[in-house]
Amino acid sequence: MAERRADTAGDEGAGPLVRHDRLDSGVDVLTLDHPRVNALSVALLGELEVLATGLAGRAADEAPRAVVVTGGPKLFAAGADITEFAERGGAAPFALADRSTVAELGDAFLRALNAVAALPCPTIAAVNGVALGGGCELALACDLRVASDGARFGQPEILLGIIPGGGGTQRLARLVGPARAKDLVLTGRMVDAAEALRIGLVDEVVEGDAVPAALERAAAFASGPRHALALAKRAIDEGLEVTLAEGLVLEQSRFVDAFATDDARVGVASFLEHGPGRAQFT
């Protein structure tokens, strides 16, 4: 699949920790590139936030149609950069950082992962290898997750005497239910790809590299009705925050909004003329 390189958010003179490519299929790919284990440092999270926010703010003709988030062919992300949670140097190099520093680190996670979750298009995490702690939370911030058969997931923070701080107690519970989320969070155990699929943590498991399968899914979204996809995603996400009755009213509002888009004009006209599934969206 042909691709063309887009922008990055790296510091001038230094390589980016998150690479951004836009493929000819219309899919944007964000690749974590922080050797050796893609630790989610404050710097990496900052780059991720900048890229996601930038994509969300693009004009209509340059707006993302679908986004794939990956860590490459060997691993997704092993979690937060634990060294940033400790005082470095001095007489007590292993002492915990002060409360304000920890709050800043947590805020970096919140801003970056919320920016990914807020992207106005379908997002897919392509998970090879491990997605632990913050890595699992980044995958949870995406709409869908495609995993290699060798992938492993977990929220092991409890084993360090702390708890998840990037959505692991919230997005995970909403995805797999509170009992299964408590099992993973309270034990800190890892699950393999097969169990992750069984409990609904991932949507597809493939043999070998997960990236091609994720790109195939994303390309199908990229050729679809961008406005309708954005409205449907927004309705689902916003509906999770309100009562069912309020959500149904919200859905009606988005339903009406959809009829004011080119997607509806193209899709309905195509259905009436050619039947279902034949519309060509732009």
Residue 137 falls in the annotated catalytic set: yes
Q: Which of 47, 49, 84, 157 is catalytic?
A: 157
Return the half-sphere exposure (C-beta side, CA atoms, 13 A cut-off) of residue 168: 28
Query: Catalytic residue at 103?
Result: no
Residues 6+ apart with CB under 8 A from 250: 235, 238, 239, 242
Question: Which of 77, 137, 147, 150 is the catalytic position?
Answer: 137
Q: Is 157 a catalytic residue?
A: yes
Residue 235, phi then psi, degrees to nearest 5: -60, -45
Spatial distance between the Cα atoms of 118 and 191, rounded to a whole number of angstroms: 27
Question: Of 79, 129, 133, 134, which is the active-site residue?
Answer: 134
Amino acid, single-letter form, for residue 201: L
Q: Over the range 249-278, which residues count as b (16 or more CB within 10 Å of their CB) and which as e?
A: ebbeebeebbeebebeeebeebeeeeeeee
Catalytic choice (9, 43, 80, 147): 80
In the beta sheet, which residues pair with residue 157? none
Strands 152-154, 144-148: pairing kind = unpaired
Q: How far apart are CA 181 and CA 140, in angstroms?
A: 12
Helix (H, G, I), strand (E, B) or coil at 19: strand
Positions annotated as catalytic residues are 80, 134, 137, 157
